[in-house]
């Protein structure tokens, strides 16, 4: 007898209970009594499995998911219980597992299996998929992977000790699956190779110090405080950059690489000191010549902070930026020149009063652009970290040059190519060295060999090999050297350092204790900042924040410094979770964040003074905590003049639950702003939109999540009224669960924290593997997330689980290339 004949359907209340029970069991948060019931019902033999599974699919799924209707691009017509044992239809079974376990299928308006039946089905499918994956590891399709521009720049930095960001010298990379390190989309073109050759030449000359002594000008545009509307109005007495001293105001700072020991002109272009409307934007230039050693420096210009008449004594006592100066505006203002945090010169700049529009307040001058020109009077051969890293030997006579060059080239090639090198590898590089040595000198010969290393395929690509005699399609463990490269690209977006490479050469890196220790070390290293910049920057859409242009007519308080503060908060928050090995559930709700005065004022949080960021404990009445309370996320999920319930809801489904809605159907109608002559609220517009059945299936999941965040405006500030109407942040999930506001939403997500742990693991694994995560990977994703849950959801447990997974440590020998009709090419 089939299982559903023995287990009759219950009422609608029981159906709702089934959703909750199944999700709880799948999440590991419920064990009794449903788990015991599910265990009793678990089919053991193939005949029992067929008797339970196939009738369930026919009764609850086939009406919509069949070969004719193909709802959600899924048909169950050909699915059989025995598929799990053979690995057939893995994608379809994974879709079913995810939706049924989450309580989304069958739809709530349709008949439901009872809780024990649903739980038994989920447990059987989950455990069966895991068993098949363990017995048949599948690391996915092997694709030759190119370093993206950030990985290339970091590799150059670490290989040559060259503190210059070359990522801007290369074109932007394509993205896939949400990240720009995906192997399949990192294509190569003749134009790109020309850029690599050009950049390699620049890198080689800078690293060896063989650049021209001719003067060059490097320009840095200081970010404006806001949009065109308030261009020319300097930020009120604020320090422009955390790289400038506390007592500074305005200006800017940037990294500059001095090519030689010598003198350099540091020039500031300032806004005009005229009151005339027609020429008030005329720029004035002031410069200072200062000595600098060859190498990387932090160069900056700033005015000194003043105390204005409307600043209270209490404010002065509370701020570390306060510098008591005369209240009357001086005729001349000090403009300080900074190099590596030291004031090297002070320029005197005339004060001025702004255009009549601002005549009630005196504003100091502001820096619009910084130029650095030089070198002048360049002296000798530069002594830089790069030269010390490259020239590990110095031949005293011509007969020693070739041996020294061989040592230098071998050392650099080993690090650049991430493997031991022999005479066969080095011979072409030495021929390039010899040709340039004959035409010039020893150091120019070495520089030519470095350029060749930097454009070689073994540097630009992640080259992995298969064991001799391995059959096409067979799976094998990667070598320790290949593991070292995968690990360093994952955690550092760079090449292995000497310790990692040495452990790999000794064959020790794959040992679990050694691998764990190396991951701990690498996550403590400053280079792990790459996970924040490259993984979090794309996972959380932080890279999109720069392109956001909120309408300053609607949000007059928004400016560049606020935007920068938003990004800094989220970067520091992510880095803190990673560095301190905090639970990933902090991303959902946390009782702390990182603020400076500018952002704290935007949030309405008192007691935070000064431009420096610091960790701040949060109170419930401030409506913050976790990613969903951070202005960066709330801004990138909004339009420039109003919020978007749909964008915010979709962002949560995509990035917090890894359950993205399907693409919208073609010709989706726009939201109607009015109906029957009456203006509609955002809620009413979406309710009308959901009346279209083609739109309802997606919006019923997205909209409730977005409505819960409606108390935050389009730049993340708290509000209770919008367009004169009190905001209603209440929402109802498809299963009937009611909640309201960010607090209610956080509770909903915390109730599904295991689902979030799996979602985070899936996103991080996509980034780590540099490919999309497929059905064959999902059992490992669930296992890693389960281990993390048992360890308090610690983020390092997820990182280590990914690094030890078959997908990360194994490789499939590629199949022979097939022609269009599927037959192997001979």
pLDDT tens-digit series, residues 24-54: 444 444 444 445 555 656 667 778 888 888 8
Question: Would you call the peptide bond into 375 cis, given omega within 30 degrees of 0 as the criterion?
Answer: yes
Which of 269, 252, 222, 236 is CA-nearest to residue 364? 236
| Contacts within 8 Å (CB) and 24+ apart, 551-554 | 551/640, 551/641, 552/226, 552/227, 552/229, 552/230, 553/229, 553/641, 554/641, 554/642, 554/714
Distances in whole angstroms, Cα of residue 477 to Cα of each of 7, 268, 483, 695: 46, 57, 9, 46
Rounded to a whole number of angstroms, the CA Rg of the chain reads: 31
Distances in whole angstroms, Cα of residue 463 to Cα of each of 143, 144, 472, 481: 10, 7, 17, 11
CA–centroid distance for 640 within its chain: 22
The model's pLDDT over 580-592, given as tens digits with 9 standing for 90+, comes to 999 999 999 999 9
Q: What is the pLDDT of residue 130?
A: 93
- Beta pairing partners, 630: none
| 278, pLDDT greater than 90 | no
Domain extents for the chain?
Answer: 3-135, 141-209+385-463, 216-379, 541-753
For residues 334 and 346, the answer to whether their CB atoms sit within 8 Å is yes
Distances in whole angstroms, Cα of residue 742 to Cα of each of 138, 655, 709: 40, 17, 6
Which of 617, 602, 540, 612 is CA-nearest to residue 571? 540
Largest CA distance in the chain: 97
Strand, coil or helix: 130 = helix
* Helices and strands: H and E segment counts in the chain: 31, 20
Strand, coil or helix: 200 = helix
| 664, pLDDT greater than 80 | no
The model's pLDDT over 647-658, given as tens digits with 9 standing for 90+, comes to 999 999 999 998
User: SS3 letters for 216-235?
Assistant: EEEEEECCCCCCHHHCCCCC
> Hey, what are 396's tokens?
């005293």
For residues 371 and 267, the answer to whether their CB atoms sit within 8 Å is yes
Average pLDDT over residues 536-547: 95
Residue with tokens 């000359």: 205
What whole-number distance in Å separates Cα of residue 111 and Cα of residue 316?
68
Average pLDDT over residues 468-487: 94
- Beta pairing partners, 718: 712
pTM of the model: 0.88
Sheet of strand 248-258: strand arrangement: 248-258, 295-304, 332-339, 342-350
Average pLDDT over residues 514-524: 98
What whole-number distance in Å separates Cα of residue 629 and Cα of residue 646?
17
At residue 117, φ and ψ (nearest 5 deg) are -65, -45
The model's pLDDT over 756-795, given as tens digits with 9 standing for 90+, comes to 999 999 999 999 999 999 999 999 999 999 999 999 999 9
Find the length of the chain.
826
Q: If you ran DSSP here, which 8-state letter would residue 731 be given? A: E
Consecutive H or E run containing 250: strand 248-258
Which of 532, 529, 522 is CA-nearest to residue 800? 522
What whole-number distance in Å separates Cα of residue 369 and Cα of residue 220?
6
What whole-number distance in Å separates Cα of residue 491 and Cα of residue 500?
12
For residues 413 and 421, the answer to whether their CB atoms sit within 8 Å is yes
User: Lowest-pLDDT range, 322-331, 426-435, 447-456?
Assistant: 322-331
Which of 464, 420, 308 is CA-nearest to residue 810? 464
> Hey, what are 434's tokens?
């010899």
Crossing angle between the packed helical segments 190-208 and 149-160, to the nearest 10 degrees: 20
- The mean pLDDT of the chain is 85
**Of residues 631 and 816, which shows the higher confidence score?**
631
Average pLDDT over residues 720-746: 91
**Of residues 36 and 538, which shows the higher confidence score?**
538
Distances in whole angstroms, Cα of residue 306 to Cα of each of 274, 323, 329, 333: 21, 6, 9, 10
Q: Cα-Cα-Cα-Cα dihedral of 556, 557, 563, 566, to 10°? A: -140
For residues 478 and 809, the answer to whether their CB atoms sit within 8 Å is yes
| 236, pLDDT greater than 70 | no
Average pLDDT over residues 275-299: 79
- Beta pairing partners, 145: 462
> Hey, what are 62's tokens?
């086939």
Q: What is the pLDDT of residue 53?
A: 86
Q: What is the pLDDT of residue 72?
A: 81
Q: What is the pLDDT of residue 621?
A: 96
> Hey, what are 505's tokens?
């050469």
What whole-number distance in Å separates Cα of residue 804 and Cα of residue 174?
28
Q: If you ran DSSP here, which 8-state letter would residue 151 be given? A: H
The model's pLDDT over 347-365, given as tens digits with 9 standing for 90+, comes to 998 876 544 444 444 555 7
Q: Give percent above pLDDT 90 in the chain.
A: 63
Taking residue 6's Cβ as centre, other Cβ atoms within 10 Å add up to 10
């Amino acid at each position: 007898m089939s299982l559903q004949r023995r287990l009759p359907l219950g009422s609608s209340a029981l159906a709702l209970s089934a959703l909750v029970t199944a999700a709880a069991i799948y999440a590991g948060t419920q064990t009794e009594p449903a788990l015991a019931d599910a265990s009793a019902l678990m089919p053991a033999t193939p005949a029992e499995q067929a008797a339970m599974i196939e009738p369930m699919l026919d009764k609850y799924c086939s009406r919509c998911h069949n070969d004719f209707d193909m709802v959600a691009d899924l048909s169950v017509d050909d699915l059989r219980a025995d598929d799990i044992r053979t690995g057939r239809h893995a994608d379809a079974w994974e879709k079913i597992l995810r939706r049924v376990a989450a309580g989304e299928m069958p739809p709530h308006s349709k008949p439901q299996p009872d809780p024990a039946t649903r739980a038994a089905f989920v447990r059987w499918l989950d455990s069966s998929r895991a068993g098949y994956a363990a017995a048949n590891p599948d690391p996915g399709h092997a694709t030759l992977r190119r370093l993206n521009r950030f990985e290339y720049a970091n590799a150059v930095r670490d290989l040559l000790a060259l503190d210059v960001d070359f990522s801007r010298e290369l074109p932007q990379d394509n993205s896939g699956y949400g990240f720009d390190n995906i192997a399949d989309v990192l294509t190569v073109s003749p134009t790109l190779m020309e850029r690599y050759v050009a950049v390699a030449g620049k890198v080689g000359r800078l690293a060896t110090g063989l650049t021209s002594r001719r003067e060059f000008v490097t320009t840095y545009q200081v970010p404006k405080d806001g949009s065109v509307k308030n261009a020319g109005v300097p930020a009120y007495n604020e320090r422009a950059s955390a790289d400038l001293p506390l007592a500074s105001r305005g200006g800017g700072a940037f990294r500059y690489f001095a090519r030689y020991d010598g003198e350099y002109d540091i020039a500031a272009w300032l806004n005009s000191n005229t009151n005339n409307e027609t020429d008030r934007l005329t720029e004035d230039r002031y410069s200072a010549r200062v000595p600098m050693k060859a190498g990387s420096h932090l160069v900056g210009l700033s005015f000194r902070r003043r105390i204005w008449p409307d600043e209270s004594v209490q404010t002065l006592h509370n701020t570390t930026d306060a510098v008591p100066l005369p209240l009357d505006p001086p005729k001349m203002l000090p403009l300080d020149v900074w190099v590596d945090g030291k004031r090297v010169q002070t320029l005197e700049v005339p004060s001025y009063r702004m255009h009549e529009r601002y005549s009630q307040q005196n504003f100091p001058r502001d820096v619009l652009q910084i130029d650095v020109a030089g070198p002048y009077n360049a002296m000798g051969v530069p002594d830089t970290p790069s030269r010390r890293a490259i020239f590990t030997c110095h031949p005293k006579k011509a007969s020693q040059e070739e041996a020294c060059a061989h040592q230098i080239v071998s050392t650099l090639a080993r690090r650049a190519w991430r493997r031991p090198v022999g005479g066969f590898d080095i011979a072409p590089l030495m021929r390039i060295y010899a040709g340039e040595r004959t035409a010039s000198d020893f150091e120019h010969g070495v520089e030519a060999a470095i350029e060749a290393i930097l454009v070689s395929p073994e540097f630009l690509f992640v080259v992995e090999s298969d064991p001799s005699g391995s059959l096409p399609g067979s799976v094998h463990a990667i070598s320790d050297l290949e593991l070292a490269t995968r690990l360093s690209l994952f955690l550092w977006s760079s090449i292995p350092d000497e310790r990692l490479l040495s452990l790999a050469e000794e064959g020790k890196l794959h040992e679990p204790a050694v691998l764990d220790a190396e991951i701990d070390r690498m996550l403590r290293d400053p280079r792990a900042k790459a996970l924040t910049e490259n993984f979090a920057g794309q996972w959380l859409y932080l890279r999109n924040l720069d392109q956001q242009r909120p309408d300053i007519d609607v949000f007059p308080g928004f400016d560049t410094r606020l935007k920068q503060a938003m990004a800094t908060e989220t970067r520091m928050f992510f880095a803190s979770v990673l560095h301190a090995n905090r639970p990933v559930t902090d991303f959902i709700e946390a009782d702390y964040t990182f603020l400076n005065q500018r952002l704290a004022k935007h949030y309405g949080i008192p007691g935070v003074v000064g431009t420096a960021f610091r960790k701040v404990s949060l109170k419930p009445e401030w409506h913050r905590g976790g990613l969903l309370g951070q202005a960066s996320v709330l801004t990138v999920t909004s339009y420039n003049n109003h919020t978007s319930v749909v964008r915010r809801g979709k962002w949560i489904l995509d990035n917090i639950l890894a359950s993205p809605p399907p693409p919208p159907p073609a010709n989706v109608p726009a939201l109607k702003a009015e109906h029957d002559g009456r203006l509609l609220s955002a809620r009413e517009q979406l309710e009308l939109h959901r009346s279209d059945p083609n739109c309802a299936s997606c919006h019923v999941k997205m909209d409730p999540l977005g409505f819960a965040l409606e108390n935050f405006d389009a730049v993340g500030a708290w509000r209770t009224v919008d367009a004169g109407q009190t905001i209603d942040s209440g929402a109802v999930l498809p299963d009937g669960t009611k909640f309201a506001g960010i607090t209610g939403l956080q509770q909903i997500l915390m109730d599904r924290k295991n689902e979030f742990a799996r979602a985070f693991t899936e996103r991080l694994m996509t980034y780590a593997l540099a490919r999309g995560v497929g059905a064959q990977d999902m059992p490992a994703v669930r296992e890693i997330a389960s281990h993390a849950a048992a360890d308090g959801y610690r983020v390092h447990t997820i990182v280590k689980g990914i690094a030890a997974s078959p997908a990360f440590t194994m490789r499939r020998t590629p199949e022979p290339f097939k022609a269009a009709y599927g037959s192997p090419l001979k």
